[in-house]
């Protein structure tokens, strides 16, 4: 413990966000980091409790509690308090391949399980992590560390999202020759195009990719494995293959008028904005724009919130965000005690911005689209919404949703964004390799492992476990790398 009385002496202080009406003028990250001295005080709040739930990564009450990576949080908090920033970075990198990503986009499961938060405010773990990794880059501690000896083994990683990059990073450090195949024009997968720039500036992704290149990882963009190059070719050229293509098959909405212009999947919309931002500074006509349009976002999760924040920056006329489920309580209920993940209503940056610009929280609960409306030319003009209510099935005991009679209403809409989640991996890649999938299109590993039914083919990340968090994808990529390494060498030290 850095300072035994720190949690009693110092109040929680987070990196401040820029005022809403300032930050929506651009697509940059908008939090101002604390000073080094302030960060040391925040690290001093860590109690180094007897059971550090913050780093446990356990399922409690059916929900994940604590860091899936097993980050040694009390240890690097103590190092920060003592000013040993370089040692803190080395300790952080032992468990986390990419702290620069998780310190920006992770929902901080560690903080929700922090013992300080059981009866007060949790430690600012994510801010501390951010301070450590950024100090490492400023001071040159985050640098390329190529392996001293190569094993002569070759591994192909298909997909460059967080799990693919984590697997590649680990396998390269072990001494294997790693090639990452990415069908898009830039490396990063979800990190590059699925997460908006204001949450994760793309220079941060490119910075880490550059280090991995210097360490020997080869990146091949614009190569769609299964189409541009066959699975047989990959298997003949590499000793092992890791499939880390994500759960990129979006869930659709079934409603009249669905076919036609004006309705987009959320990730396609976000990709359009990010690509134009990087290619040409967001020139008009080069991306799907929400400017001066009435927008409906279907889905209340993180991706839906990202769509809201992006549409605010585009200059949308209005934004309505639909959520099928009821509004969660504002505070923990007795049935949801610490250290479980808190099932409470969270207002994220996009909703905060929409409320400031348009006067109201954009979210509407227990509501869905019954029909999309179009004019004679087929142009989207609006949607018929309907409220939902829950009814218990007498036979099964399950709660089923049904439309609330007489609740239909029509709203204007020229743009609809579907952020209803993902169904699993795309079939063309799983068919190409002949790997088995479950009912949700996730690639099946052996038991809880990552080895598929096809010899020398492994799987990791959302493609393996289904849609989840970046931090879980990184953990899954690291675990997969250890299995691949053991299959190649007979043992593993990863």
The CATH number given to whatever domain includes residue 99 is: 1.10.1060.10
pTM of the model: 0.95
257 & 226 share domain: no
Q: Quote the percentage of the chain above a pLDDT of 70.
A: 100
DSSP 262-276: TEEEHHHHHHHHHHH
Q: What is the mean pLDDT of residues 4-22?
A: 95
In a domain, 304, yes or no: yes
Q: Quote the percentage of the chain above a pLDDT of 90.
A: 92
Judged against a pLDDT cut of 90, whether residue 424 lies above it is answered with no
Structurally, how many domains does the chain consist of? Answer: 3
240 & 381 share domain: no
- Alpha-carbon span 440 to 425, nearest angstrom: 9
Judged against a pLDDT cut of 90, whether residue 423 lies above it is answered with no
106, 139, 172 - which closes a domain: 139
131 and 214 in contact (C-beta within 8 Å)?
A: no
222 & 233 share domain: yes
The reported pLDDT for the residue numbered 48 is: 77
Closest to 319 in 3D by CA, of 348, 290, 347: 290
In a domain, 449, yes or no: yes
Q: What is the mean pLDDT of residues 445-460?
A: 93
The reported pLDDT for the residue numbered 447 is: 78
Closest to 434 in 3D by CA, of 418, 421, 453, 447: 453
277 & 415 share domain: yes
234-270 pLDDT, tens digit per residue, is 999 999 999 999 998 999 999 999 999 999 999 999 9
48 and 217 in contact (C-beta within 8 Å)?
A: no
Q: Is 107 exposed, middle or buried (0-12, 13-18, 19+ CB in 10 A)?
A: middle
The reported pLDDT for the residue numbered 398 is: 85
- Alpha-carbon span 85 to 333, nearest angstrom: 39
Rounded to the nearest integer, the mean pLDDT of the chain is 96
387 and 411 in contact (C-beta within 8 Å)?
A: no
The reported pLDDT for the residue numbered 448 is: 77
- Alpha-carbon span 105 to 60, nearest angstrom: 22
373 & 278 share domain: yes
Range of the domain at 195: 154-248+423-489
Write out the H or E segment, with its range, that includes residue 163. Answer: helix 162-174
Judged against a pLDDT cut of 90, whether residue 136 lies above it is answered with yes
pLDDT band at 350 (very low <50, low <70, confident <90, very high): very high
- For residue 36, the SS3 value is helix
- Alpha-carbon span 373 to 384, nearest angstrom: 7
Q: What is the mean pLDDT of residues 88-93?
A: 97
40-51 pLDDT, tens digit per residue, is 999 999 987 888
350 & 236 share domain: no
378-408 pLDDT, tens digit per residue, is 999 999 999 999 888 878 878 888 999 999 9
396, 420, 444 - which closes a domain: 420
The reported pLDDT for the residue numbered 213 is: 98
In a domain, 164, yes or no: yes
229 & 257 share domain: no
Residue 151 CA: distances (Å) to CA of 145, 276, 287 = 16, 41, 45
85, 113, 139 - which closes a domain: 139
405's CB contacts (< 8 A; 6+ apart) are none
126 & 176 share domain: no
98 & 204 share domain: no
In a domain, 1, yes or no: no
Residue 329 CA: distances (Å) to CA of 313, 335, 342, 350 = 29, 12, 10, 20
193 & 103 share domain: no
Reading phi first (left if > 0) and then psi (alpha if -120 to 50, else beta), residue 65 is in: beta
């Amino acid at each position: 413990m850095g300072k035994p009385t720190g949690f009693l002496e110092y109040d929680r202080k987070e990196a401040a966000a820029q005022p809403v009406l300032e930050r929506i003028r651009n697509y940059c990250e908008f939090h101002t980091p604390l000073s080094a001295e302030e960060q040391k005080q925040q690290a001093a709040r860590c109690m180094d409790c007897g059971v550090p739930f913050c780093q446990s990564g356990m399922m409690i009450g059916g929900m994940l509690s604590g860091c899936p990576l097993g980050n040694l949080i009390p240890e690097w908090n103590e190092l920060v308090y003592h000013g040993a920033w370089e040692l803190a970075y080395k300790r952080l990198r032992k468990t986390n391949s990419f702290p620069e990503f998780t310190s920006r986009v992770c929902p901080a499961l560690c903080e929700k399980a922090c013992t300080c938060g059981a009866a007060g405010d949790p430690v600012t773990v994510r801010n501390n992590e951010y301070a450590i990794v950024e100090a490492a880059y400023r001071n040159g501690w985050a640098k390329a560390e190529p392996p001293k000896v190569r094993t002569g083994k070759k591994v192909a990683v298909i997909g460059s999202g967080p799990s693919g990059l984590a697997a590649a990073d680990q396998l390269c450090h072990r001494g294997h020759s790693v090639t990452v195949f990415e069908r898009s024009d830039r490396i990063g997968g979800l990190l590059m195009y699925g997460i908006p720039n204001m949450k994760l500036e793309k220079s941060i992704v490119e910075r880490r990719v550059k280090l991995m290149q210097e360490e020997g990882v080869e990146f091949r963009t614009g190569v769609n494995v299964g189409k541009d190059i066959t699975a047989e070719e990959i298997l003949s050229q590499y000793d092992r293959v890791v499939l880390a293509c994500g759960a990129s098959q979006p869930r659709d909405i079934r409603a009249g008028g669905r076919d036609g212009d004006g309705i987009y999947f959320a990730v396609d919309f976000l990709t359009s904005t990010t690509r134009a931002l990087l290619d040409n500074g967001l020139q008009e006509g080069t991306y799907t724009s929400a400017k001066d349009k009435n927008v409906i976002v279907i889905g209340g999760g993180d991706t839906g919130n990202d769509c809201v924040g992006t549409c605010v920056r585009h200059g949308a006329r209005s934004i309505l965000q639909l959520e099928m489920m009821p509004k969660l309580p504002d505070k923990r209920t007795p049935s949801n005690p610490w250290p479980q993940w808190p099932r409470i209503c969270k207002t994220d940056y996009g909703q905060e911005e929409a409320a400031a610009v348009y006067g109201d929280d954009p979210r509407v609960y227990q509501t869905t689209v019954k029909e999309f409306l179009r004019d004679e030319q087929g142009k989207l003009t609006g949607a018929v919404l309907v409220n939902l209510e829950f009814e218990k099935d007498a036979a099964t005991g399950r709660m089923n949703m049904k439309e609330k009679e007489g609740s239909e209403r029509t709203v204007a809409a020229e743009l609809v964004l579907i952020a209803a989640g993902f169904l699993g991996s795309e079939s063309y890649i799983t068919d190409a390799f002949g790997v088995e999938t479950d009912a949700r299109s996730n690639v099946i590993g052996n038991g809880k492992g990552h080895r598929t039914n096809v010899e020398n083919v492994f799987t990791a990340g959302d493609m393996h476990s289904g849609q989840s968090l970046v931090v879980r994808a990184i953990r899954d990529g690291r675990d997969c790398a250890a299995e691949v390494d053991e299959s190649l060498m007979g043992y593993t030290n990863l």
